[in-house]
Structure 1
Amino acid sequence: MNFDQARFFMVEQQIRPWDVLDQKVLDPFLNIPRHQFVEESKQSLAYSDVELPIGHDEFMMAPKIEARLLQALDIDETDTVLEIGTGSGFLTAVMATLGKSITTVEIHADLQEVAKKRLASYNNIEFKLGDASHGWEDGKQYDVIILTGSVPEIPQAYKEQLNLGGRLAVIAGQSPAMTAQILTRISEAEWETETLFETDLKPLMNAQSSEPFSL
């Protein structure tokens, strides 16, 4: 299989038609070998318009979903990013090329270990292990926060963890009707909401429960 050609077709036939036209976002999708972030047996599907299983009943988001969220987040080279759900590590890699630093949280230790190996060449990624389905209390504020699984309601903790002008990407609601949104903090107590598209995404582990699971 010609992975370079598959990557080009992914961008031209899936991502661009979804109104993702920002070259800053398109370049990492063209340059980062997505097939290296999945099991060898699934590499032929790495550039397809599907959610790929990665273990623990978890999935990679479809490329066009990832790209659309990233375009709306408009990550800058000075931005600090918090990613909830490292998963395969592919989205982490893309954001590491866009932002200043990435803190990425994963609940499954084995998925994190695999992602660490795939991301070994990046020096601006900090890995954390734990349940961040309801919040991640690390005492830090971030310019960008992204939740890679859906939540029934947007956790207030993440809204509060944004710097002024910071953006939160989240897919919220109940299956099959969920909404991808970008929340921008415009004051200490105000957030502006932009609705991007309707979709259906597997929830973050433990996001459906009222209390976070304790490791």
Structure 2
Amino acid sequence: MSDFTAARLNMVESQVRTQDVTDVRIHDAMRKVARERFLAADKGALAYADIEAEYAPGRWLLKPRDVSKLLQALRPMPGERALAISAPYAAAVLEDLGCAVVQADAGEAIPAGPFDIVICEGAVTRAPEAWTAVLAGGGRLGVVERGGAVGQAVLYVKAADGFGRRDLFDAFPPVLAGFEPAPGFAF
């Protein structure tokens, strides 16, 4: 067993299962998908740490805890169409779960939908309308919204008459480059 294989197993046991992530399909996928492949070779050791690991300038992999809880809230099912926005690791896990995944960077044009699932690994001030616009009926968007020190992982669900939004858990990932809060004036 390689050091990375052991680290992957430990990550699931200590950072995922202990955080009320009970979907064994997610456990199995996270045991298989090599997080280190998304990082530069000299940063591979950070892949399984309890941190957000930067894989490109202004882009991070969510902590294993956060990405697993977000994936569980999205309830991915085999055959669903998913859009992974600046989310290479989440995309690989969704593919392992049987989803058809399209990847895009948060700074690029969003591919045409509809998508059953949209996920982003990184924080934004508020989910852009372009992201909710590509959801299919019953489609779900999982993202961390962060305007200050603490962010909220949220789930948006598209219904016939609009969107439902539910706070899931506190999260602290860095805000994606290009999605920082606009400076404002306050007393």
Same fold (TM over 0.5): yes
Q: Give the alignment partner of residue 153 of structure 1, picking from 102, 105, 126.
A: 126
Matched position secondary structure for 1:174: coil
| Partner residue of 1:144 out of 117, 124, 128 | 117
- Name 1:182's counterpart in structure 2: 155
Whole-angstrom distance in 1 between the partners of 2:14 and 2:149: 25
TM-superposed CA distance for 1:26, in Å, is 0.7
**Percent identity between the two aligned chains:** 28
How many angstroms apart in 2 are the aligned matches of 1:205 and 1:44?
A: 24
Match of 2:174 in 1: 202
Q: Which structure 2 residues correspond to residues 36-185 of structure 1 after superposition, within 5 A?
A: 36-86=37-87, 89-106=88-105, 131-132=108-109, 136=110, 138-185=111-158
CA offsets 1:75-110 (integer angstroms, 9 cap, x no match) = 111210111114xx3222111112431111126xxx
Question: In the superposition, relative to structure 1, how do residues 12 and 172 fare at CA in structure 2: closer, same or farther (>3 Å)?
Answer: same
Counterpart Cα distance in 2 of 1:12 and 1:95 = 19
Q: Number of residues paired by the alignment?
A: 181
Letter in 2 for 1:155: P
Residue 146 of structure 1: SS of its match in structure 2? Answer: strand
Q: Residue 20 of structure 1: SS of its match in structure 2? A: coil
Tell me: CA distance 1:28–1:192, structure 2 relative to 1, closer, same or farther (3 Å): same
Distance 1:209 1:21, change over 3 A: closer
- Return the alpha-carbon distance in structure 2 between the equivalents of residues 57 and 204 of structure 1: 6
CA contact (8 A) 2:86 2:105 kept: yes
| Aligned 8 A contact 1:175 1:200 in 2 | no
Structure 2: gaps spanning 5 or more residues: 183-187
Provide closer, same or farther for how the CA distance between residues 166 and 61 of structure 1 changes in structure 2, counting only shifts above 3 A. Answer: same
CA contact (8 A) 1:77 1:99 kept: yes
SS at match of 2:48: coil
Shift of 1:145: 0.7
The one-letter amino acid paired with 1:153 is R
Over aligned residues, Cα RMSD in angstroms?
Answer: 1.9
Q: TM-score, normalised by structure 2?
A: 0.87
TM-score by length of 1: 0.77
> Residue in 1 aligned with 2:9?
8
Residue 122 of structure 1 corresponds to none
Shift of 1:144: 0.5
Structure 1 residues 156 and 172, CA gap change in structure 2 (3 angstroms): same
- Give 2:165's aligned residue: 193
Partners of 1:131 and 1:152 lie apart in 2 by 17
